[in-house]
Structure 1
Amino acid sequence: MEKKKRKLSVPHTYVIIGIILVIVTLMTYVIPAGQYDRVMDEASGQEIIVTGSYHHVEQTPVGPFKMVTALAEGMVDASDIIFFCFFAYGLVYMMIKTGAFYGGVSALKRVMRGKEILILPVFMIVFGICGSTFGMYEEVYGLLPAFIGIAIAMGYDGLVGGATVVLGVVTGFAAATLNPFTIGIAQGIAGLPIGSGVWYRIICLVLFEALAIWYVMRYAHRVKKDPSRSIVRDVHFNVDEGMTSEKMEKLPFTGRHKLIMLVFACTIGLLVYGTTQFGWYLSELSALFIIAMFVVGLLGGFGPSEICRKFVEAASEILFGAVVIGVARSLVVVMNEGNIIDSLVYYMSSALTDVPNGIAAVGMVIVQNILNFFIPSGSGQAAVSMPIMANLADSIGMHRQIAVLAFQFGDGFSNMFWPTVIATECGIMGIPLQKWYKFAWPLFIMMFALQVVLIVVATMIGYQ
């Protein structure tokens, strides 16, 4: 009797994160608990660690029940991002239901006829510049559904649209030129002039952004030529609604639609202005999207009750992604509870003290990449790692500017890979984590190789 071959099935996204959660929990039993003393740094406004103050503390391993409790705590801890996603998608969903969204895309295609291929690369450059200069990152989450819809309507797939936003802004954020949340804080802690060494970081930005655009458009062309090669061909995107390039060409773009798209454009303008001038973050941006959602609904002919019903529909469609964000945040909760983050910083930095400068610089990039799994916040990672890395650079005769460069590379580019970060974007996009990895891992390897080349070159030319 012939045995049936078992089909290898990839675990659900929640299962993947759950397995990582168990591993991290076990690490709290194995890695010695420890802490650094911390002081407030007036120059950067961050609480930073005191170099040489690392000490062991009482072991606080996380038990099985506490591990499960961390799931709920992660939901609470990430609640600002979770609810921001609900309201941001609510606005896009309302635009779709009024017909304005795809009508606007149809008009854009007609204007760009014969040059549609430029739309996505141009936006990747815009997102990259915004991430590199004023540190835009979470603010683009609300645009993910819109670009997924644009990509599908142009004959690509939803992954192309999502990657346009995610890789565009991640690359700019990582190859930062003036980003105040990473470069600004890191240089302040390292005692370097803010903005110094920008010429080399501009070169890095151009090279990395070019690589990201090439990678996304290469995949986009492949999918458009043969849709069966799409990694997400079996994924239903909430903004899809069976829209094709042919159907979209016939859609009208009425005066009401134009007014709605004007409201959307003003909303994005206010988002940029508010974040740069007034320091708006998720609470303020959520309020902005709520207001815009109701204005769009009213302009589209919906009454207040219908607008609320549409919002409930939108929330139900993005629930999967919202839960992913909270589940991923539980990993950080467990590591904090087990007091192992400072220990990891100590042991990894200690391994770089007796190696040549070139190897030490590459080692710093590796260490910062690993640290980004445990400390997803850019400013938080700078506050923890830069006091150590700056002094380490001094002890081995390396300029502190190279330590800052290693920090920015390690903190930024692994944002496209570690589940503690990318699970949020995958959740909003509605793309299973394993499918994102299938798409992104070759690019991550190429990005890491380029990081190594650029950090070695910086060491050789005496970058400062």
Structure 2
Amino acid sequence: MEKEKRKGKIGIPDAYVILFIILALMAVLTYIIPAGEFQREEVDGVTVVVPDGYEQIANTPASVIDVFLAIQEGMISSAPLIFLVLIIGGSFAVIESTGAIDAMILKTIEKTKNKEILLISIVMILFSIFGTLGIIVNAVIAFIPIGIILARSMKLDAVVGVSIIYLGAYAGFNTAFLDPLTTGTAQTIAQLPLFSGIGYRVIIYIVVLVTTILYVAWYVKKLKKDPMKGVLGATPFPKIEERDELNQEVKVTGTHKLVLAWLVLGIATYVFGVFKFEWSLNEMAAIFLIIAVGTAIIAKLTPNRLVLEFFEGAKGLIYGAMIIGMARSIVVVLEKGNILDTIVHGMASVMEPFTSVSGAIVMFIANLLFNVLVSSGSGQAVIVMPIMTPLADLMEIPRQVAVQAYKMGDGFTNVITPTSGILMANLAIAGISWTKWVRFVFPLLIIWTILGIIFLVIGVLMNWGPM
């Protein structure tokens, strides 16, 4: 009888099931929404849309075979990110095998004993700094296991483990005042000096970060009072693996210090490369391969042991890495159905009658919603900024405000959108269902949105210029 009951119970849909349902719905929309496209031109090496160049074209609705082809094409187009995730996972497994990660975390916990909030704040601040530079948002998935280890050591839950890494990084990425791919691209299209307006953006970053830390701290205190009040209830860590257990016997050795120094040097080299040589995902993957090989040399691991540890780490992230391609398939259907530009054109038509303050708010909300369809920051910039820039001029909204409306719209809803491969991969690794995560994070999203509106209104009123 019990077996029969279990069989009849559907349960919470898997992340892949949720994404496939969205994919199917988007395919249906290609039959409903008229196809159209903007003319495009290349400006300073960036292909952007011509604001007044929209025209309707013949409908190209998605067939059943197109839906399944989109999955394959999504995987192919996301290959650099998918393999980056696998390489980072493998590299971290090599580092973990030396005991350096365990030693660092145990030492940190020892130094911050009974000061969980302080430890959480330090980690979130660190990842938020990476987020402002735009160097960690795609690779954040590799650090989730560390967050889970930290959360377990503090007897909290997997939601906290994901939050201190993921929300920390995105608290910085929401403004990303030094990110060349999102803020830099948007400002280039808006014809603003690169990284101008940084003073006000730093203020926005600090307020958003402090608010996020306070929100996570509130949740931690609630868990401490009653673990059953957490969104995961009686199963605080749905995916428990042996490798997630801290080795309490590990002490910090000279080898551990060298391994951690090598990791920091590798990441610092990548940051330098981003700004000096415009490095991207492929270079990041190469750096992490170098980190893995260097770690093996420092820790005197045999070549066979290096390969074994690397592939064990990569294997654990296959589910999460592949989901990035699944999320991308949704955008593939929208693009092949030629309805993305129609959606953008509709957004522009809605925004045009507004002026000044109300127009800035509508711009922000439109970007929040559009980000659910296109979760790529730079991808969203090249689609919406050529439309929003002339609209901002018409509505007497400073262009810096238009850039910030795009940036916060792009950043905020990343924490709930199921089309974000990074979010879905993080949740899959932690074993948290999307519905439970949304239940936890949605109040924070509302707080962020209110803060965003306030900052945009201030930006309009003070006529926020390039600076």
Q: TM-score, normalised by structure 1?
A: 0.90
2:48 aligns to what SS in structure 1? Answer: strand
Aligned equivalent of 2:253: 254
Match of 1:425 in 2: 426
The alpha-carbon deviation at position 63 of structure 1 amounts to 0.7
In the alignment, is the contact (CA less than 8 A) between 2:41 and 2:48 conserved in 1?
yes
For the 8 Å contact 1:91–1:293, the answer to whether it is kept is yes
Question: How much does 1:7 deviate?
Answer: 6.5
Task: Determine whether 1:439 maps to 2:440.
Answer: yes
Q: Which amino acid aligns with 2:259?
A: I
Q: Quote the sequence identity (%).
A: 33
- Change in 2 beyond 3 A, CA 1:178/1:107: closer
- 5+ unaligned residues in a row in structure 1: which ranges? none
State the secondary structure of the residue aligned to 2:252: coil
1:80 has 2:80 as partner: yes
2:264 is the alignment partner of 1:265: yes
* Cα deviation, residue 396, structure 1: 2.4
CA-CA distance at 1:363 after TM superposition? 0.9
What does the per-residue CA deviation read over 1:414-455, in whole Å, with 9 as the maximum and x for residues that have no partner?
111212222243345554333322221221122112212222
Cα distance, 1:301–1:227 mapped onto 2, change above 3 Å: farther
The offset of 1:22, in angstroms, is 0.8
Q: Which is worse superposed, 256-265 or 213-222?
A: 256-265
1:313-392 mapped onto 2 (5 Å cutoff): 313-392=312-391
1:408-419 mapped onto 2 (5 Å cutoff): 408-419=407-418
Q: Are 2:91 and 1:91 aligned?
A: yes
Offset at 1:140? 3.6
Q: Which residue of 1 is the match for residue 16 of structure 2?
A: 14
Do the aligned residues in 1 keep the contact of 2:40 with 2:48 (CA within 8 Å)? yes
Q: d(CA) in 2 for partners of 1:110 and 1:95?
A: 21
Provide the rounded CA distance (Å) in 1 between the counterparts of 2:299 and 2:156: 28
CA deviations over 1:378-401 (Å, ceiling 9, x no partner): 222222212211211222233222
What is the match of residue 32 of structure 2? 30
CA 1:122/1:376 → structure 2, altered by over 3 Å: closer, same or farther? same
Once the two structures are overlaid, the 10-residue window that deviates more, 450-459 or 109-118, is: 109-118
State the secondary structure of the residue aligned to 2:351: coil
How far 1:168 moved relative to its partner?
1.7
Change (3 A) 1:405 1:101: closer
- 1:144-163 counterparts in 2 under 5 A? 144-163=144-163
**Aligned mates of 2:176, 2:83 — CA distance in 1:** 28
The 1:178/1:69 distance shift into structure 2, 3 A limit, reads same
Letter in 2 for 1:236: K
For residues 164-216 of structure 1, what are the alpha-carbon distances to aligned partners after superposition, in whole Å with 9 as ceiling and x for unaligned?
22112212122233432223222222223334333322221121111111112
Aligned partners of 1:325 and 1:427 also within 8 Å: no
- Of 448-457 and 319-328, the range deviating more from structure 2: 448-457
Considering only aligned residues, what root-mean-square deviation do their CA atoms show, in Å? 2.5
Residue of structure 1 in register with 2:130 after alignment: 130
Q: Cα distance, 1:367 vs. partner?
A: 1.1
Cα drift, residue 462 of structure 1: 3.3
Cα distance in 2 between the residues matched to 1:51 and 1:393: 12
Q: Partners in 1 of 2:230 and 2:94 — Cα distance?
A: 28
Secondary structure of 2:270 counterpart: helix
| Contact 2:347–2:366 under 8 Å retained in 1 | yes
Which stretches in structure 2 are left out of the alignment for 5+ residues?
none
CA distance in 1, matches of 2:273, 2:223: 37
Quick check: 302-311 or 445-454, which moved more? 302-311
Distance of 1:454 and 1:399 partners within structure 2:
13
The CA deviation at 1:71 is: 1.1
Q: How far 1:41 moved relative to its partner?
A: 1.0
Cα deviations by residue, 1:322-359 (Å, 9 ceiling, x for unpaired)? 22112111111111111111110001110112234322
Helix, strand or coil for the counterpart of 1:284? Answer: helix
Instruction: State how 1:34-113 maps to structure 2 within 5 Å.
Output: 34-42=36-44, 45-113=45-113
